Amino acid sequence: MARVLSEGTRGHEIQSITLAKALAHQYQLEHITVPAPWRWALPYRMMGLGQRIRSQFSESGVSSRLIISTGRQMAGVGRWLKKNSPSEAKHVHILNPGYYFQDIDVVLVPQHDRHRYPNAITFRGNLHPFNNQWFKQHARIQNKATIALFIGNPGNTYFKQQFKADLQRIREVFKSFKLFLCGSPRLNHETQGFIRGLMKPAESLWLDVCDGDNPYQTLLANADKIFVTADSINMMNEAGASSAAVTLLARDYIPSKKHQRFMQSIEYRLSDFEGLDKAQPLPDPVKELLENTDLLKRLELA
């Protein structure tokens, strides 16, 4: 049994659950709300934290052998839980907690972050559930070839200067394809309105729950070509896990060095704008972790 700690950030939660499913037969998801001032002080200062969060834990996870957390706040909650747990649970934390804590048994850090954390184990991109088996299970017969356009939040400058031209070029190059744009709910209202105003009646769009069910996973599994904005390492990594041709948008609008490092690491997987050839998926980061003997030994799973 693994105990997964989450403050509600969807990206963090997906990574923790993905790892829990890989390392344990069962997992218990614990949603923890950390009040002020601890939410700002974690993972460093934990004095008095237990009085505010103890009642949020379920009894069913008491005997858990693993505690899995992602993000700064849950690193602190995991430290407190391990110290106050009756079982000798191992604590695995995903992403750099910002300081070296001897009571965290394993820290998993993305390679593109280049954080010098003692004894950290690195992985590529993000931990996600989209492996070969998942793609086989979610494949569907398509009546028409599909272009998926995954839009993160690359910034107002890109939308003002380049997005309209990129969208028009996609239409011109892939005239016979069905176009489906799937955007991040993080896009502000103004940007959502701008995108909606550009879409044509025959094209499909999802920007928030008002547009129905999120089609991201269906598109990921079945699109013939994926365009994805370079601001989201998670979406780039997950698109690369498919066999679809993948092309990045807004690449010149993302100055972040860690994003640039990640893009360079998957350059061999990317296609040019008009490319449609199927590609070898990126290696599964979870499978690579499960083959890491150091990780398994430190968790006493070897």
Q: What is the pLDDT of residues 215-260, one digit of tens each?
A: 999 999 999 999 999 999 999 999 999 999 999 999 999 999 999 9
The mean pLDDT value of the chain amounts to 94
Contact 184, 151 (CB under 8 A): yes
Side chain identity at residue 295, one-letter code: L
pLDDT at residue 45, as a whole number: 83
**In the chain, % of residues over pLDDT 70:** 99
**In the chain, % of residues over pLDDT 90:** 83
Higher pLDDT, 150 or 60: 150
Question: Domains in the chain, ordered, with CATH?
Answer: 2-128+288-298 (3.40.50), 132-269 (3.40.50)
Kindly tell me the sign of the dihedral angle through the C-alpha atoms of 43, 123, 221, 19: negative
Would you say residue 212 has pLDDT above 70? yes
Contact 275, 174 (CB under 8 A): no
Q: In whole angstroms, what is the distance from residue 212 CA to residue 210 CA? A: 6
Q: In whole angstroms, what is the distance from residue 195 CA to residue 269 CA? A: 28
pTM over 0.85: yes
pLDDT at residue 60, as a whole number: 72
Kindly tell me the sign of the dihedral angle through the C-alpha atoms of 208, 214, 220, 225: negative
pLDDT at residue 61, as a whole number: 65
Q: In whole angstroms, what is the distance from residue 107 CA to residue 117 CA? A: 8
Q: In whole angstroms, what is the distance from residue 298 CA to residue 114 CA? A: 22
Would you say residue 204 has pLDDT above 80? yes
My answer on whether omega of the bond before 285 falls inside 30° of 0, hence cis, is no
- Neighbouring CB atoms inside 10 A of 151's CB total 27
* Length of the chain measured in residues: 302
Question: What are the structure tokens assigned to 146, written together?
Answer: 């599909």
- Neighbouring CB atoms inside 10 A of 176's CB total 6
Higher pLDDT, 161 or 39: 161
Q: What is the pLDDT of residues 86-130, one digit of tens each?
A: 778 999 999 988 887 888 999 999 999 887 778 899 999 999 999
Would you say residue 184 has pLDDT above 70? yes
Overall average pLDDT of the 260-267 stretch? 97
Q: Which residues contact 59 (CB under 8 A, 6 or more apart)?
A: none
Higher pLDDT, 43 or 228: 228
Would you say residue 63 has pLDDT above 80? no
Would you say residue 62 has pLDDT above 80? no
**Where is mean pLDDT largest: 16-25, 33-42, 92-101?**
16-25
Measured CA distances, 46 to 79, 107, 248 (Å):
9, 19, 42
Would you say residue 46 has pLDDT above 80? yes
pLDDT at residue 110, as a whole number: 95
pLDDT at residue 181, as a whole number: 98
pLDDT at residue 144, as a whole number: 87
